[in-house]
Amino acid sequence: MELIETQLSEFTTRSRSLAVTHSETRLTRGLEYGERVLVRSAGEYRTALVVDIEFTSEDTHYRLVLGGPVPADIAEDRLLGEIVVTPADKAAEKTAGKVTVEDIAMLLSRSGSANRIPLQRQVARRLLDR
């Protein structure tokens, strides 16, 4: 997962829309449409989704839709690729390590992005209706 460090204004945070150019970032590669990234501003991590890419002769411009805040320890583990999934309670220990379609659907439906991104909303509804 890629990290974009920037300073988010109050308006940008409220509107949940961020425009950045490739040259403003420290990215070693270009981002792809639909790619999820982490945005760090003032020590806070937020999820983001690339929703538009525009190429000009000078630079590449990205439009990102900001998601919710992510705790620093989880974001840093994600950047390192070391996410550890542990059961939340004793009842979950019986199914530890097993992720079902219902688990994924519930995560999608509870995340704020499920309400903002039509494709995820449709997928979550289809999975929950099974």
In angstroms, the CA 59 to CA 65 distance is 20
Look at the alpha carbons of 57, 19, 6, 30 in this order and tell me if their dihedral is positive or negative: negative
Q: Which residue has the higher pLDDT, 96 or 36?
A: 36
**Cβ–Cβ contacts within 10 Å for residue 31, how many?**
20
pTM over 0.75: no
* pLDDT of 95 over the 60 cut: no
Amino acid letter, residue 65:
V
CB 66 within 8 A of CB 40: no
Per-residue pLDDT tens over the stretch 2-60:
889 999 999 988 889 999 999 988 888 899 988 888 899 988 888 899 999 999 999 99
CB 46 within 8 A of CB 69: yes
Q: Which CATH number applies to 2-80?
A: 2.40.240.20
* pLDDT of 107 over the 80 cut: no
**Alpha carbon 77 to chain centroid distance?**
14
